[in-house]
Chain A
């Protein structure tokens, strides 16, 4: 099942995937043990003429063992998960690049802050009054991208499967997310939360550029400013 995971192209994707593998191996072993035990019992203790079932009401020792052992494993798993959770969701690092994504039925509406790094100023892309930019996000490779997620109508979910990022977007709120892509390329950005009749097919792209390619894109968009990020 493991090689079905989409290619991981983010810095924290490995943390998510290694937890996935860890749980996969633990649950896989438990599944095998339980299944083998069940099959052995079903064969060994099937009805046979003249044999009577063992009369027992259980064993407190065994019950304590199979209460405590799973409890310890599960709590350790929770602690182990917390590091990655806190890294991905709780401590958003300052971004090298900022973007704002407005989710609406049924598009991602993208805004770049421009060279001043602030939204709502004259150098934003698209500039005030210009047509909106839909469904395409351009970012540089190996840079921390900080995403401001803003909702307009219903709940959408910003999903980058190859970057192991998913975050619901709520109307009336700004939610911060971040990622750092490690490989240039074009990656799908579907909406993962049912958002109406056009939900299926609400799909954008994340385009991760090599540094020089990104610089060229910036130069194209902000031709007058050399310092543009």
Chain B
């Protein structure tokens, strides 16, 4: 047992930090673990908002231009003007006020029905929040911060103050983004890709400060992630414990390391593109406006040159998490550890040369499309390697179906679907048809929204270490199974819509006669999505309840090998009683050298005696 070791080490380190007071401990903390938790809470909060936006989008697509339940006006009131319900009376009262005194609801959803401008805002902000303010803060900001020092045996990040700033700047950027929902003209409404020239002139969308704040928020977010990535890279290169060679690092740490490098290189490209867009909007430049000699397609090149590495910034840590839980709960070394590292490295390099596959029909020279089809086909190979190695890890294991394992397995199976559906779009002729349809919406939700399974795997797996308590396993498993079922019921039928020619980003599918036969599919998807949303209440309850009343966790509840599990749960300031020395790789499960089926990285074996131990 891990308790038998190291528990009574030297305590000077955290004693020195023990009297920081409330503000320095919980708010302006420089402790990487607190900053990690702060990022996690910010991400979960944004997940709720982004998720509710998705519910509104699905309502609109299933029941176009119908008032929402509960807050919407009744059909009788809309038809006759006679208020029936108390909500009708409220609407009548609100709508009777002069325009200057009307509230946000009457402007954006009169009678409780979503309008086209609001719909465009909703899908724009849903994607923006989910990508930049949910997956990135939770995976990179939250687990990156929490896990990097712990898994490499360091006491903190290389630059703790910079780390703290990274969170607070990130929070500021989130606040700016949320504030943009309430400015006159509404929030950004040109898609999360914000294609110019639609975004380059106010009159094209009617959105003024919403779009400006969107740009400013993401520029600020870029500063936050720059500070984070520099910190991660420096920490991993310089602060590994004795014996922790690069090839003894857990795959989650590798994935965060590679992600940090991608972040460092990709975000500045976005920042420059955003600055150019802001100049076009506010200073009268013409980077993207053809009437002044600008080039509309330049925005797409810049955006996707950032955007494709960004996809891997999102998915690499999810792959890292999956590798951890699959190995731990199969009680087996990860299959092909070095292959996994090389596959991630290959993905990182190739991610810079595939951006044009977003632009096959953009008007870019078709010959360049051919080149990007080739590179895109090639980048599918390392993803295939990872999938097969995960399967290899399961083979011959002794599999424990814990909550994190269920989520890890769900991530793998959704990633398989998302990976395979990507091949359709890689083929340029097929992409002519399915580009900008629901097929692509299905594809990227399987990959990017599928990351939610890795997020849940990570939260349920590291919860004991982060908060010192266990989450409820029964509720966890129910949540995992329901989420898996409703996720697939929501996103799989979107492939069918796309194959039927259903465009994305349309406000009312019933405006198109050829889409009428597909409308029942839309209704089915929306009902599944609402169920998916409701199922998350189980998680919310389990998370909050376990935070205060979960069973106390010991140091190593999962019998895992990596260094974070030798620290107390939760680890004190300074993490380790004594900096550990590392003797082996992270995945020595079921090793014949010991009687137990795990062998921590820091346990020293007297090889001669250990061999005859059992």
Contacts and interface: CB of A to CB of B under 8 A. Distances in A.
Contacts of A190: 503, 506, 512
A71 interface: yes
A221 interface: no
A173 B384 contact: no
A52 B398 CA distance: 6
Interface stretch (A118-126, A128-136, A140-148, A199-207): A199-207
Nearest to B195: A155
- By CB atoms of chain A within 10 A, which of B380, B432, B512 has the most? B432
B433 A164 contact: yes
Contact of A47 (B195, B399, B413): B399
A81 B198 contact: no
Interface string B178-202: 0000000000011100010110000
A210 interface: no
B240 interface: no
Given A16-B429, A71-B378, A171-B197, A199 B505 contact: yes
A203 B190 contact: no
- Counting contact residues on chain A (CB < 8 A from B), the size range is 35 or more
A216 interface: no
B14 to A, nearest CB: 36
A167 B361 contact: yes
B369 A89 contact: yes
Contacts of B116: 197-198, 200
B430 A58 contact: no
Contact of B430 (A1, A16, A203): A16
Given A82-B370, A159-B503, A57 B333 contact: yes
Interface in A2-20: 2, 4-6, 15-16, 19-20
Given A6-B501, A74-B380, A172 B336 contact: no
B373 interface: yes
A94 interface: no
A58 B335 contact: yes
A170 B204 CA distance: 14
Contacts of B429: 15-16, 19, 81, 84-85, 88
A154 B469 CA distance: 54
Interface stretch (B416-424, B481-489, B571-579): B416-424
Contacts of B409: 38, 42
A48 interface: yes
A58 B336 contact: yes
Contacts of B163: none
Contacts of B567: none
A47 B331 CA distance: 9
Contact of A197 (B120, B417, B426): B120
Interface in B464-491: none
B363 A170 contact: yes
Interface of B is mostly: helix
B336 to A, nearest CB: 4
A225 interface: no
Contact of A188 (B296, B499, B513, B597): B513
A53 to B, nearest CB: 4
Interface in A168-215: 168-173, 175, 188, 190-201, 203
A196 B205 contact: yes
Interface stretch (B267-275, B385-393, B454-462): B385-393
B85 interface: no
Interface in B357-390: 361-363, 366-367, 369-370, 373-374, 377-378, 380-381, 384-385, 387-389
A53 B389 contact: no
Interface stretch (B41-49, B315-323, B585-593): B585-593
Interface string A19-59: 11001101100110011011001100111100111111111
Contact of B435 (A58, A71, A155, A166): A166
A220 interface: no
Nearest to A72: B381
Contact of B590 (A6, A20, A52, A88): A52
Contacts of A200: 116, 119, 505-508, 511
Contacts of A173: 290, 363
B416 A155 contact: no
Nearest to A13: B433
B30 interface: no
B296 A171 contact: yes
A55 B496 contact: no
B198 A23 contact: no
Nearest to B501: A161
A56 B336 CA distance: 9
A77 interface: yes
B394 interface: yes
A197 B117 CA distance: 6
Given A58-B339, A172-B291, A194-B195, A165 B432 contact: yes
Contact of B392 (A1, A24, A58, A175): A58
A222 B367 CA distance: 39
B414 to A, nearest CB: 12
Interface in B388-406: 388-389, 391-392, 394-401
Contacts of A59: 335-336, 392
A46 B373 contact: no
A196 B191 CA distance: 10
A5 B505 CA distance: 20
Nearest to B382: A67
B324 to A, nearest CB: 16
Interface in B423-456: 423-424, 426-430, 432-433, 435-437
Interface of B: 116-117, 119-120, 189-191, 195, 197-198, 204-206, 290-291, 296-297, 330-337, 339, 361-363, 366-367, 369-370, 373-374, 377-378, 380-381, 384-385, 387-389, 391-392, 394-401, 409, 412-413, 416-417, 420-421, 423-424, 426-430, 432-433, 435-437, 495-496, 499-501, 503, 505-508, 511-514, 587, 589-592, 597
Given A41-B399, A203-B511, 9 more contacts: A27-B420, A53-B396, A56-B335, A60-B336, A78-B374, A153-B197, A194-B120, A198-B116, A199-B506
Q: Which 7 A-B pairs have the closest CB atoms?
A: A172-B290, A54-B396, A161-B501, A200-B507, A58-B336, A84-B429, A74-B377
